[in-house]
């Protein structure tokens, strides 16, 4: 399984993805699910992939091959807006699933896949899109400034309670990692390392990339403090008077 999350805030954007892939409990490996297409000073486009690995890798390879073989044609490095980038990724995903999906279905293999695509192209503000398996997509808003894909249910509640467009990037990083800690605690198919990209608005530079490994001291401390804080918060809530039957 997979867990990816991306946030679009007033101060910039945060992207994160786990790297675990598994085909059973004894066949676990790492794979990159964060794909960065950038030209410093011109564009930073990030795609986070979830779902059938052969489908998403095929789609990314096709996007990269098209850009290499036809540099003058519309491609991920020449589109003039993030909307066009989302459309390109969505169309490519649809084409790959149409081509490969039937063969996978014959083997009872699910071909579903999705992408989160975000970033900034010079001349427009940062934008963020969620692309569904069918290739259609939606854009984030100030009311819903983040997207997840993959194993979303464990990390979503904490994000829902905290996030707002005015959140500082440092707090957004903390929030993102707490959502990963919550997900990993409840689902062993999501695991370290975590790929993280922090993008300050208008920087048009993808240098803010980090990989959080198993021994990362901050991530370990964050998990411990979050766990202890939840226990303290729970203990501070008054008991429901009158709910427990008396002996």
42, part of any domain: yes
Mind listing the pLDDT tens digit of every residue in the chain (247 residues)? 799 999 999 999 999 999 987 644 454 567 899 999 999 999 999 999 999 999 999 999 999 999 999 898 899 999 999 999 999 999 999 999 999 999 999 999 999 999 999 999 999 999 999 999 999 999 999 999 999 999 999 999 999 999 999 999 999 999 999 999 999 999 988 999 999 999 999 999 999 999 999 999 999 999 999 999 999 999 999 989 888 888 8
| Rounded-to-integer distance, Cα 244 and Cα 247, Å | 9
244, part of any domain: no
Residue 14: predicted pLDDT: 98
145, part of any domain: yes
Residue 37: predicted pLDDT: 98
204, part of any domain: yes
Instruction: Tell me the Cα Rg of the chain.
Output: 20
134, part of any domain: yes
| Rounded-to-integer distance, Cα 59 and Cα 115, Å | 10
| Rounded-to-integer distance, Cα 156 and Cα 165, Å | 16
Taking the CB of residue 134, how many other CB atoms lie within 10 A of it?
A: 12
14, part of any domain: yes
Q: Are 10 and 201 in contact (CB under 8 A)?
A: yes
Among the listed residues 116, 30, 45, 108, the one whose alpha carbon sits nearest the alpha carbon of residue 76: 45
200, two tokens:
């300050």
Residue 23: predicted pLDDT: 44
Residue 72: predicted pLDDT: 86
Domain range for residue 183?
Answer: 3-232
60, two tokens:
């990314």
120, two tokens:
């900034």
Q: Are 7 and 145 in contact (CB under 8 A)?
A: yes
Residue 27: predicted pLDDT: 47
CATH of the domain at 42: 3.60.20.10
237, part of any domain: no
218, part of any domain: yes
Residue 31 backbone phi and psi in degrees, to 5: -150, 140
Pairing of strands 34-39, 43-51: antiparallel
Statement: the pTM of the whole predicted model exceeds 0.85: yes
Q: How many domains does the chain have?
A: 1
151's CB contacts (< 8 A; 6+ apart) are 1, 2, 3, 183, 187, 189, 190
């Amino acid at each position: 399984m997979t867990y990816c999350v991306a946030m679009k805030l007033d101060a910039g954007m945060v992207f994160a993805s786990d790297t675990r892939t598994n085909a059973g409990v004894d066949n676990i490996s790492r794979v990159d699910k964060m794909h960065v297409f950038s030209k410093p000073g011109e564009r930073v486009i990030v795609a986070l992939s979830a779902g059938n690995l052969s489908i998403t890798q095929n789609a990314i390879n096709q996007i990269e091959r098209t850009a290499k073989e036809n540099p003058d044609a519309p491609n991920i490095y020449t589109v003039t807006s993030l909307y066009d980038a989302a459309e390109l990724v969505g169309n490519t995903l649809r084409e790959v699933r149409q081509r490969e999906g039937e063969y996978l279905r014959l083997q009872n293999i699910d071909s579903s896949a999705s992408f989160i695509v975000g970033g900034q192209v010079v001349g427009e503000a940062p934008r963020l899109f969620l692309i569904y398996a069918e290739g259609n997509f939606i854009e984030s808003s100030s009311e819903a400034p983040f997207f997840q894909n993959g194993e979303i249910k464990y990390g979503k509640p904490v994000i829902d309670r905290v996030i707002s467009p005015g959140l500082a990037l440092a707090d957004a990083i903390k929030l993102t990692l707490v959502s990963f800690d919550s997900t990993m605690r409840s689902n062993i198919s999501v695991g370290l390392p975590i790929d993280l990209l922090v993008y300050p608005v208008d920087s048009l530079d993808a240098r803010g990339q980090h990989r959080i490994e198993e021994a990362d001291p901050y991530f370990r401390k964050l998990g411990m403090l979050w766990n202890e804080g939840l226990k303290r918060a729970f203990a501070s809530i008054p008991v429901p008077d009158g709910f427990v039957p008396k002996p």
